[in-house]
Amino acid sequence: MASVARQATRLTGQTNIINVRKRILLLYDKILKELEKMPETASYRKHTEEIVKYKKSIVEQETNEATIEQKLGSGHISEIFLQAQNELNLSRTMLEYRPWEPLASPIPRNQWKWPPA
C-alpha cells in the first residue's frame, strides 16, 4: 500500500504536485538560506530555523508521503508544500522590513491606551 500513487488531493483548490517531497526540501533549503541573512539574535530566525530544520529532517528521512504527513501533523502533503511556500514568502518579507532593528522614531506615549486621548 505504500507504493500507491495518489490520484487526487481531495482538497478544493489543491492539485497533485509532481515530486512534492523533493520540492518541499528545496523550499526548506531556500527558507534556511533566507534565515541566514538575518541576525542570529532575531527571534524569527531562531524559532523558524528550529522548526524548518526539524521538518526538513523528517522529509529527508521518510520517502512515504503518508508517513511524512503523519509525523509532521500539518495536513496533506500538498498543504505542507503550501505552508513551506508561505514561510518562504514570509521570511523574504521579514528581511525586507527588518523588525529586529530599533524603531526609527519613539513610540507615542499613549499608543496602546483605549479610548484614544
Interval 6-16: pLDDT, tens: 556 666 666 78
Distance CA(97)–CA(17), nearest Å, equals 32
Q: Cα separation of 104 and 86, whole Å?
A: 28
User: Cell 498543504 appears where?
Assistant: 79
For residue 9, the model assigns a pLDDT of 61
Rounded average pLDDT over 24-48: 98
What average pLDDT does the chain have? 91
Domain boundaries, the chain: 23-97
DSSP 38: S
The letter for the amino acid at 55 is: K
Q: Which 3 state secondary structure label does DSSP give 70?
A: helix
pTM over 0.85, yes/no: no
Helix (H, G, I), strand (E, B) or coil at 78: helix
Collapsed DSSP state (helix, strand, coil) of residue 37: coil
